[in-house]
């Protein structure tokens, strides 16, 4: 009895062979499929269509190399996706930190302006321009 090859995993057509290789790449019973290719009761003729024999040295070598390379590629894809999301989250944090700094500066300038009015003085033009710029940046942040 077959341990891996069957109706849903075989190499009789290109499409099913591709799906079988994908199944092997994900690690789903790849050793059972490899064992099925190494059965002793097989048809060794040239016109074989079912239950065909394969080289007992090449099949294990192919399966092990294919699984190692496929797992290496899949792990690299997962790591690449995680790194991309980590990088995007750092950009978001930096942007939020910048927003908080701008809010703090605006609060400081407004507090200074109120204190100066209590004393009877006014803030200088540079601080007024900075206040207007910060107000505009903060307002556009939510747009």
- Given this model, what pLDDT does residue 105 score? 87
Distance CA 50, CA 7 (A): 12
Q: Which of 105, 86, 106 is nearest to 94 (CA)?
A: 86
- Given this model, what pLDDT does residue 81 score? 92
What are 97-122's pLDDT values in tens digits?
Answer: 777 888 888 888 888 888 888 888 88
Q: What is the mean pLDDT of each run of 10 residues along the chain (143 residues)?
A: 76 88 86 82 72 80 90 89 84 73 86 86 86 83 69
> The pTM is what?
0.54
């Amino acid at each position: 009895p077959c341990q891996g090859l069957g109706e849903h995993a075989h190499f009789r057509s290109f499409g099913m062979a591709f799906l079988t290789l994908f199944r092997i790449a994900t690690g789903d019973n790849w050793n059972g499929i490899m064992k099925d290719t190494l059965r002793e009761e097989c048809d060794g003729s040239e016109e074989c269509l079912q239950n065909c024999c394969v080289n007992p040295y090449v099949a294990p070598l192919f399966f092990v190399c294919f699984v190692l390379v496929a797992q290496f590629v899949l792990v690299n894809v997962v790591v690449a996706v995680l790194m991309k999301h980590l990088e995007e989250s750092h950009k978001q944090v930096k942007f939020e930190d910048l927003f908080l700094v701008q809010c703090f500066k605006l609060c400081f300038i407004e507090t200074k302006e109120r204190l100066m009015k209590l004393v009877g003085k006014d803030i200088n033009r540079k601080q007024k321009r900075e206040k207007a710029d910060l107000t505009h940046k903060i307002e556009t942040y939510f747009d």
